[in-house]
Amino acid sequence: MGEVTVPKSRFGRTLWTNAIFAPRTSLGFMRVDFVLGTIFVIPLTQMVFFAFVAHLGGDSVGFTALGNAVATVTYSSVFSVCQTTDSEKWQGTMEHLLVSPANRFALYFGRGLIPILISLATVTTGLAYADIFFGVTIRPSVIPGLAVSVVLTAFAMVGFGLLLGGVALYLRTSIILGNIFLFAGLLLSGVNFPLSALPLPLQYVGYGLPLTWGLAAIRAAVAGDSWGTLSVLWAAVAIAAAVSFGAAISLWQVFERRALSTGSIARF
């Protein structure tokens, strides 16, 4: 008998299907109240809290408010996306995913599309709060550069969330991992104080986080820095996004090969 060939699913169909259904299943955050809370409530409450702390400490409220306006992107792009792994395992869909003929890049990138859109909306709302309530002036002339910075940051952070989800394939749960990097971003990415205020070893760790470069690009855009400066920062954010997506797919592929060779994911 000849070998039976299973046709590969079309790239576009796989991408679109995962973009639509993944948030309702493995990502689990398509409830209207969750989305609205993530976009409108979390940015304001986080910004108010840290701005009040900065005010009590005599620090710049504007600096802190702008940092937290961007840092709120981690809830939808890192913490939620990272939990993809847990959902696939506990819902019993991981095995079906591993034997699917679907294009792997379309599959993994597709599940990040909705989080990217939610991340864009979250950061945009946070920036509006910073301008309206916290004295951060966003001039019309800086909006084009700011828009590019926000889009690149959203892509980079969702890629980082998928990367953590790939690491969590080899762990019992992704929740702890997501929480670690959720709060590490607040400490090591220049959100509430300049990165230069940290000890040198922690600065190096901070430079390895996509949020650090995305926030630097957004701060530079708001400050009206030159296009040359912005281009360098955009390149850094784009590299962080590409590395995160590439590493995430590589981790999933290694996991897939090991699971197929052993016939089980129980050991993971």
Mean per-residue pLDDT of the chain = 87
Q: Are 165 and 83 in contact (CB under 8 A)?
A: yes
Q: Are 59 and 193 in contact (CB under 8 A)?
A: yes
Residue with tokens 């992704």: 174
CA distance 77 to 38: 11
Predicted confidence (pLDDT) at residue 29 exceeds the cutoff of 60: no
SS3 of residue 135 by DSSP: coil
pLDDT at 174: 81
Residue with tokens 């591993």: 98
Q: Are 234 and 147 in contact (CB under 8 A)?
A: no
**What are the φ/ψ torsions at residue 267 (nearest 5 degrees)?**
-70, -15
Q: Per-residue pLDDT tens for 182-232?
A: 889 999 999 999 999 999 999 999 999 999 999 999 999 999 999 999 999
How many C-beta atoms lie closer than 10 Å to residue 92's C-beta?
Answer: 8
Residue with tokens 């046709």: 7
Provide the residue ranges of all domains of the chain, joining segments of one domain with +. 11-262
Long-range contacts of 230-239 (CB under 8 A, 24+ apart): 230/145, 230/148, 230/149, 233/149, 234/148, 234/149, 234/152, 237/149, 237/152, 237/153, 237/156, 237/210, 237/213, 238/152, 238/156
Q: Which amino acid is at 140?
A: P
Per residue, what are the HEC states of 56-93?
Answer: HCCCCHHHHHHHHHHHCHHHHHHHHHHCHHHHHHHCCC
Q: What percent of the chain has pLDDT over 90?
A: 53
- Closest residue by Cα to residue 189 from 218, 164, 161, 166: 218
Residue 68 banded pLDDT, cuts 50, 70, 90: very high
pLDDT at 1: 44
pLDDT at 226: 97
**How many Cα neighbours within 13 Å face the side chain of 132?**
10
Q: Which amino acid is at 89?
A: K
How many C-beta atoms lie closer than 10 Å to residue 247's C-beta?
Answer: 16
Higher pLDDT, 108 or 159: 159
> What H or E segment, with its residue span, contains residue 53?
helix 42-56
